[in-house]
């Protein structure tokens, strides 16, 4: 998310709503990280870059297993495609959990 916000700052016109919002969000994130973790955004981003990829398959498997529990197939030959927002909406529907 930080990288995306930095890209907005890079591409948006200074003083525009997008630019100002991105600047504000980065500032809030920086302050929160420093208060809670003692490290700033640069340390966080560097830590992400150094993340050990050997754990990635396990993380992906856990996400797939979670998806299998949450989204039941009606037909094994039917592929369901929906956005993140649609998934959040489905999970927040009454009776969904």
**Enclosing domain of residue 28:** 2-49
Q: What is residue 55's predicted lDDT score, i.e. its pLDDT?
A: 60
Closest of 54, 68, 16, 70 to residue 24, by C-alpha: 16
Stated pTM of the model: 0.44
How sure is the predictor about 70, in pLDDT bands with cuts at 50, 70 and 90?
A: low
pLDDT of 85 above 60: yes
24, 57: one domain: no
36, 62: one domain: no
29, 65: one domain: no
Residues 18, 93: Cα–Cα separation, whole Å: 31
Q: Per the domain annotation, does 97 fall within a domain?
A: no
Number of domains in the chain: 2
Residues 1, 33: Cα–Cα separation, whole Å: 14
DSSP letter at 59 equals: H
Q: Per the domain annotation, does 96 fall within a domain?
A: no
């Amino acid at each position: 998310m930080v990288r995306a916000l930095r890209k907005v700052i890079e591409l948006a016109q200074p003083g525009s709503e997008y630019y100002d919002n991105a600047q504000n969000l980065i500032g809030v994130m920086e302050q929160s990280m420093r208060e809670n973790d003692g490290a700033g955004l640069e340390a966080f981003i560097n830590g992400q870059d150094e993340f050990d990829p050997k754990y990635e398959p396990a993380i992906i498997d856990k996400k797939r297993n979670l998806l299998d529990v949450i989204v039941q197939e009606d037909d094994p030959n039917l592929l369901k495609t929906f956005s993140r927002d649609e998934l959040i909406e489905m999970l927040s529907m009454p009776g969904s959990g």
